[in-house]
Amino acid sequence: MLIYLILSLLYSLFGPVFFTEYGIAVLDSIDIILAFYFVGCLNYSAFRAREMIEDYFEEEIFQSWLLAVFNIWYLQYKINRLVDAGGNL
């Protein structure tokens, strides 16, 4: 993902100089597809972490719709609340 982000930055800076309008449209399409893929990976990771934490504490801690909307920020918020309440992770 880091390599993709570096290449995307270089493309956004120098792309119009080297590519035609068709080439820019193709690269923009690839950019959108990869962005959705990375968001999917982020959501998958957040839900897997939720599953492991709930299995450890043997109770339902997270709400799925909040985790889908706020991703890692909601996950971190709930982990901080668990640590403050005295739970050991």
Q: Does residue 89 belong to any structural domain of this protein?
A: no
pLDDT at 7 over 90: no
In one letter, which amino acid is 58?
E
Instruction: Tell me the residue range of the domain where 39 lies.
Output: 2-84
Q: How far is CA 31 from CA 7, 43, 56, in A?
A: 10, 18, 38
Q: How confident is the model at residue 88 (pLDDT cuts 50, 70, 90)?
A: low
**Alpha carbons 50 and 63: distance in angstroms, whole number:** 10
Q: Which residue has the higher pLDDT, 41 or 86?
A: 41
Number of domains in the chain: 1
pLDDT at 87 over 80: no
* pLDDT the model gives residue 55: 93
Q: Does residue 14 belong to any structural domain of this protein?
A: yes
pLDDT at 1 over 80: no
Q: Convert the pLDDT of each residue in 18-66 to its tens digit.
A: 888 898 888 889 889 988 999 999 999 999 999 999 999 888 999 999 9
Q: Does residue 47 belong to any structural domain of this protein?
A: yes
H-state helical runs in 1-89: 2-18, 21-57, 64-84
pLDDT at 10 over 90: no
